[in-house]
Chains A and B, each alone.
Chain A
């Protein structure tokens, strides 16, 4: 056989990973993979822009395939930030992990980015998020933005609680998961429910004269005998306390 003929035969099939790799790399498909979390196995979807959603692994395919609009392919996350995914899940904030929030409105994005700043083990009421994004009257809208958080755990909407201090609802599998997560982070949810029942919204430290959200690290370090409870920030300020600069519990 001539050398030219032999060369013509030096081809074969397209390796199977290539079409899918291209679909993932162009963002024409979303990749997904499974990860451990404090509330069990979760599934994370991603594209070149970052992580786009997180959901409970159980029954994921049935729930998500139709409404994402793009095909889903089981894949390794892009190597540039794959290692940040388990860290972000454990820490409960994106850190260096890019998140793709293209599916939400700019208002929702501001809500979610602010939510992501709540430290691990602490909680803030919806009203706090509304104030932080300079829309103090939009508490309800904040509530629905948080409820539609596409990337729970990594954007820690479990750290946003009702304005009356009760733990409230949770989109990722129900309120018991919110309690479990807060427990896992050391936020002591049963104590929080107790404070809410006693209508305590903020707590002051009588030796420093500073008042905080009940889960703020500053007030948690205080001696019990120094802690003074208030039904509102206003009440604390009337009693001569000033707002903590870390947790910003302004009225």
Chain B
């Protein structure tokens, strides 16, 4: 992580694609699980990185060196998501004409998980996904979402309980 922010501070343009490579996968899949829509998650991921790049371009290099990139990106993403969910199914602004990549090794049942996740309220879904899909600590999630740690802990706890219950009912 430190290597990456050092390189980013030294040469933003050359290093930024590496940030996308390093952080994009978890950012995308976290957003994908929170918003329940593939296209929407792609759009949000892309927009998050574009905003991040523009912000970084205006930062002093020491500020970049000291950054913790993943929570910072998530703060941008969560803020974008608040407005985004109101204007759903907008096309991404920049669409490369690429072939779609390889299938995931063990495809998960996205429809089933979207249904399960929809049982949770927004706060619970965000907290559960950031904690267990993305793998962040409670303290980081509290900072990103602007909610107290105790509340985040409770959101994760209740969210997991609801998911367990929903899955049990499916059987």
Contact = CB atoms under 8 A, between A and B. Distances in A.
Contact of B98 (A4, A20, A80): A20
Contacts of B160: 3-4
Given A10-B29, A11-B133, A15-B28, A25 B46 contact: yes
A221 interface: no
Nearest to B23: A14
A62 B106 CA distance: 40
Interface in A1-51: 3-4, 7-26, 28, 31
Given A14-B24, A25-B50, A25-B93, A8 B17 contact: no
Contacts of B129: 7
B49 A22 contact: yes
Contacts of B59: none
A50 to B, nearest CB: 14
Interface in A145-175: none
Interface in A49-89: 73-76, 78-80
B13 A76 contact: no
Interface in B9-60: 13, 16-17, 20-21, 24-26, 28-29, 33, 38, 42, 45-47, 49-50, 53-54
Contacts of A17: 42, 92, 95-96, 98
8 interchain residue pairs of minimum CB distance? A20-B96, A12-B104, A7-B132, A11-B29, A25-B50, A24-B94, A16-B101, A22-B49
Interface of A: 3-4, 7-26, 28, 31, 73-76, 78-80
